[in-house]
Structure 1
Amino acid sequence: MTTQSPTETSSWLNRSLNAIERIGNKLPDPAILFALLMALVWLLSWALSGVEFTDIDPRTGQAFQINNLLAASSLTEFMAKIVATFVSFPPLGVVLVAMLGLGVAEYTGFINAALRGILAVTSKHLLTPVLIAVGILSHVAVDAGYVLVIPLGAVIFYAAGRHPLAGIAAAFAGVSGGFAATLLVPSSLDPLLAGLTQASARLSADPAAASLVINPLNNYYFTTASVVVIVLLGWFLTDKVVEPRLQSTVIDGDKEQLPSMDPLSDNERKGLRFALLSMLLAAVALVVTALPADSAWRGANGDLTASSAPLMQSIVALIFVFFLLPGIVYGYVSGKVSNHRDVVQGMTKAMSGMGYYIVMAFFCAQFIYAFGQSNLGALLAIKGANFLQQMDFPMAVNLVGLVLLTAVVNLLIGSASAKWALIGAVLVPMLMQLGVSPDLTQAAYRVGDSSTNIITPLMPYFPLIVVFCQKYVKSTGIGTLVALMLPYSVSFLICWTSFLILYWSLGLPLGIGASYVYPAP
């Protein structure tokens, strides 16, 4: 029996990833790809609209029906909503508003100076785990990590003399690949998923389930422990697999727009001190106004972290303010800004760089709308859930199957809540009948939902990450990013699922008010 040496294994892996990159980059431009996929959805919806399915749609209680998008009424509705579909595309507003503030902070030099100051006191060897951990921490701020942490990851790595795409990969792995992990504080996704789990559990035939209450932190201990898995695994993959493969990738971006690595000047240090002070004062003002029990930042139930709380709904606006303010202060104190027109110029420059993303977002929004209206994604999700139910596997196999099912469906349906509303309505009551708690079923779902976020071009923020990469490597395409993130996705899927099974087999606490079995002891 012959074995491969580490060098041979690495060479084989590089050849495989290079092949994936070449194939992926031969695909049409992402904007056209979304348009072609939308046309395919239209044709499939027409072909399957006359098929009678026996699968029950948990949202309506009736048999699934594929909607014919080529019907006259559907086409006219599509045309009537094309503008609304685009402007209401969730990532669009998040990205553009956040980039206005970030654009000023970048234009005046505040971000660059702050990062150079951090690099002066931080070991280059710890940049990767710290960046991944920050990406995980960003989950508390909804989607802020996509527009804040990921581009900064590239800047940090480049300023440290490392490849910027490796920084994007590490940050993307933490923000999106580790989406189910929680560092220190719960994410806004916790109460949302718990609410859907509770609604699904109450569909059970067990009369006692009608009053079942799911704690929003029912997976908190597991998702917190998962941080160790994601950080260590992401650290190893970035430094030993991803970055070495990037050594031959030439950085050919506009040199004038790439961050400087020079030591801070006296004016820059002074500007940085005043900018950070302004940031601190703004943070203190936010805390002081949010602490009172009757604060306007709180939700109707007095909670600051509920998804309906004004504080959580203002995250993007706060990002805008928390970068606009220090950006302006730094610019004036350091002499980089002389008047208000320079501030507006910073915003304008940021928006001009988003032109390509806006084009892709338009076609991506139309595709996602068409796919949702067709009912194709929902049908595929229920088909997979029903398959697991019919196979009657052992419990460990069922958990692995749920993770894999979610991972596959995630390639087609980007929204974590939309997937869980569909899959959970079938799987939660089904596994409750087998003695499995809704809490454990939800934990398995979250692992699968996170692991393949980073390799699907249908994820709403995927085109934005391509744009971030193109700032440094102009030839970056879909294939480049998929090949870059595939090692993380496969490793997370395997290792995180194994960690879940081990965690479950050891009986470690899953979360607050949670259990592994149903009914709870």
Structure 2
Amino acid sequence: MTSNSSNDNGLVSKLLGHVERIGNKLPDPAILFLVSIFIVWILSALMASIEFTEINPRDGLPIRVQNLLTGTALTTFLANLVKIFTGFAPLGVVLVAMLGVGVADGSGYIHTAIKMMLKKTPSFLLTPVVIFVGIVSHSAIDAGYVLVIPLGGIIFYAAGRHPLAGIAAAFAGVSGGFSANPLPSAIDPLLQGFTQPAAQIIDQAVQVNPLANYYFTAASSILVTLVGWYLTDKIIEPRLNKNNPVDADVEKAPDMGEFTAQEKKGFWIATIVTLVVFVLFVLSLLPATSPFRDASGSLTSFAAPVMQSIVPLIFLFFLLPGVIHGIVAGKFKSSKDVIDVMSESMRGMAYYVVMAFFCSLFIYAFGTSNLGALLAIKGANFLKSLALSGPVTITGIIFLAAFVNLFVGSASAKWAMLAPIFVPMLMQLGYSPELTQAAYRVGDSSTNIITPLMPYFPLVVVFCQKYVKGTGIGTLVSVMIPYSIALLILWTIFLVTFWVLGIPLGLQASYMYGG
């Protein structure tokens, strides 16, 4: 038995090694996006004259590939190039959040908090804690990408473990478990906003609750945590220790020993003040007339100002304790010291800014050309033509969503294209909109962590390069493939089990249309 297990592990290690070597032979992510832009341009010109029969659900007309090499298209591209880059949503999220995180980190507040956490968390629970925190971070939309993932590396390194294993565990929780959360999040009403209109194509009376998948996503957080825990400790970290040692010139991990009197004082004063401010903020949300509510009085809808203020709130709630801790602990002597640590945090983001430039242009070209929509619609129509039944159909939806996710990173953009096809199609087969949405969420989450086209993927590569400079796209993909495969298979089984056992998906949700 031991011999067979050893052989299996050796085979897996060799396979992942090949993936890493092949992937790392790919160009730098920025160049990869640049080359992809030219490929999209050429394909758009070659396919623009082809007449497709697939209907674009956005306008009800046969879908057409738009030629991006016409004079009009090229001049429009050049005229809007700066807006395309500055309007790239992840760029603002990353830079604004990192300004606040940079102050909290540079002041020593985060390191002190990590010391406290490590002293209270048993070493064997470190991995599940990091993964679970990553899952919960979805309540703050994209905060996990710029906060939890780098902290995963810092925490593991400080504990004497491989930092890339901590980054991988956090990435698995934040992105691989994107649709798992014990708390409601903005993604729930966002997806429901596409599901309900799609369902009303068939039945105008259909109403979909924003928390229609809540019970399933809450239970899924346990599954994702357990799967990530096992893979990180038993497969990922041993392989990283063997094949990807931390660079010798990497700065030593922060001392996890005793605190100085100033550190203790600064930490507690900063934490208490921040908690008081947080409580006051929560109290400001309670009145029905709170300016943080949307027009209907909701706090959780995507249009609610509080949901749209998540990133600025992250900035403020890291800036505040960072400044207080820095002053009390003696790190900050003047306001210039605060600005200096902000500047230092931005210097570390220079590489990401370059990649974001080319990534934003590629995503614009891919979307404008309609190539992404064509790929999604053709796949969905093929699945419809198979006329499969029950769990097999749902499994097909999950795997198709997982495949499309490799090419179209935005969860809302994909669901905007797929919901008008998947939801009515499955309603005609007797399956509820809530079940279809849950299936989409499983597929969408599972392959987030292995596609370089996901907007935050290059950022995770940058976090890894802090510890292992040779980290490339291939390295990260090979590290994350086991998580992706395991989540895709086990999460699919988990959803089917929910269905078979009749466990409610969420509020006012059913599995069968009309049932």
Q: TM-score range by the shorter chain?
A: over 0.9
Give the Å deviation of 1:174: 0.6
Q: Secondary structure at the match of 2:315?
A: helix
Q: 2:240: which partner in 1?
A: 246
- Paired with 2:298 and 2:341, the residues of 1 have a C-alpha distance of 36
Q: Does 1:440 align with 2:406?
A: no
Amino acid in structure 2 at the alignment position of 1:216: P
1:155-193 deviation line (CA, Å, top 9, x unaligned):
11111111111111111101100111121x211111111
Q: Secondary structure at the match of 2:160?
A: coil
The correspondence of residues 71-150 of structure 1 with structure 2, limited to 5 A, is: 71-150=70-149
- Paired with 1:141 and 1:41, the residues of 2 have a C-alpha distance of 33
Query: Do 1:253 and 1:470's aligned partners in 2 also have CA atoms closer than 8 Å?
Result: no
Q: 1:413: which partner in 2?
A: 408
Picking from 361, 377, 393, the partner of 1:398 is: 393
Give the Å deviation of 1:16: 1.0
Total equivalences in the alignment: 514
Picking from 283, 296, 299, the partner of 2:294 is: 299
Give the Å deviation of 1:255: 3.7
Give the Å deviation of 1:254: 5.2
Q: 1:215: which partner in 2?
A: 209
5+ long unaligned stretches in structure 1: none
1:376-402 deviation line (CA, Å, top 9, x unaligned):
010011101111111111221110100
Give the Å deviation of 1:437: 0.7
Query: Do 1:253 and 1:473's aligned partners in 2 also have CA atoms closer than 8 Å?
Result: no
Give the Å deviation of 1:13: 0.9
Query: Do 1:117 and 1:264's aligned partners in 2 also have CA atoms closer than 8 Å?
Result: no
Give the Å deviation of 1:136: 0.8
Task: Give the TM-score, by structure 1 length.
Answer: 0.97
The correspondence of residues 257-296 of structure 1 with structure 2, limited to 5 A, is: 258-296=253-291
Q: Go from structure 1 to structure 2 and tell me whether the alpha carbon gap of 1:110 and 1:234 turns closer, same or farther (over 3 Å shift).
A: same
Give the Å deviation of 1:344: 0.3
Range moving further from structure 2, 420-429 or 456-465: 420-429
Q: Secondary structure at the match of 2:204?
A: helix
- Paired with 1:311 and 1:351, the residues of 2 have a C-alpha distance of 26
- Paired with 1:459 and 1:160, the residues of 2 have a C-alpha distance of 30
Q: Secondary structure at the match of 1:84?
A: helix
Q: 1:48: which partner in 2?
A: 47
Amino acid in structure 2 at the alignment position of 1:224: A
Amino acid in structure 1 at the alignment position of 2:196: Q
Amino acid in structure 2 at the alignment position of 1:165: L
Query: Do 1:108 and 1:337's aligned partners in 2 also have CA atoms closer than 8 Å?
Result: yes
- Paired with 1:326 and 1:29, the residues of 2 have a C-alpha distance of 37
Q: Go from structure 1 to structure 2 and tell me whether the alpha carbon gap of 1:32 and 1:258 turns closer, same or farther (over 3 Å shift).
A: farther
Q: Does 1:232 align with 2:226?
A: yes
Query: Do 2:250 and 2:466's aligned partners in 1 also have CA atoms closer than 8 Å?
Result: no
Give the Å deviation of 1:262: 3.3
Taking only the aligned residue pairs, the percentage that are identical comes to 58
Q: Alignment RMSD, CA only?
A: 1.3
Query: Do 1:177 and 1:450's aligned partners in 2 also have CA atoms closer than 8 Å?
Result: yes
- Paired with 2:439 and 2:245, the residues of 1 have a C-alpha distance of 40
Give the Å deviation of 1:460: 0.4
Q: Does 1:454 align with 2:449?
A: yes
Q: 1:70: which partner in 2?
A: 69
Q: 2:34: which partner in 1?
A: 35
1:211-267 deviation line (CA, Å, top 9, x unaligned):
211111111111111112111101000100101111132212754474333332222
- Paired with 1:455 and 1:170, the residues of 2 have a C-alpha distance of 14
Q: 2:11: which partner in 1?
A: 12
5+ long unaligned stretches in structure 2: none
The correspondence of residues 440-519 of structure 1 with structure 2, limited to 5 A, is: 440-519=435-514
Give the Å deviation of 1:306: 1.4
Amino acid in structure 2 at the alignment position of 1:147: V
Amino acid in structure 2 at the alignment position of 1:398: T
- Paired with 1:91 and 1:422, the residues of 2 have a C-alpha distance of 21
Q: Secondary structure at the match of 2:346?
A: helix
Picking from 367, 373, 377, the partner of 1:372 is: 367
Q: 2:200: which partner in 1?
A: 202
The correspondence of residues 129-208 of structure 1 with structure 2, limited to 5 A, is: 129-183=128-182, 185-204=183-202
Q: Secondary structure at the match of 1:139?
A: helix
- Paired with 1:28 and 1:190, the residues of 2 have a C-alpha distance of 36
Query: Do 1:34 and 1:367's aligned partners in 2 also have CA atoms closer than 8 Å?
Result: yes
Task: Give the TM-score, by structure 2 length.
Answer: 0.98
Amino acid in structure 2 at the alignment position of 1:247: N
Q: 2:20: which partner in 1?
A: 21
- Paired with 1:217 and 1:501, the residues of 2 have a C-alpha distance of 19
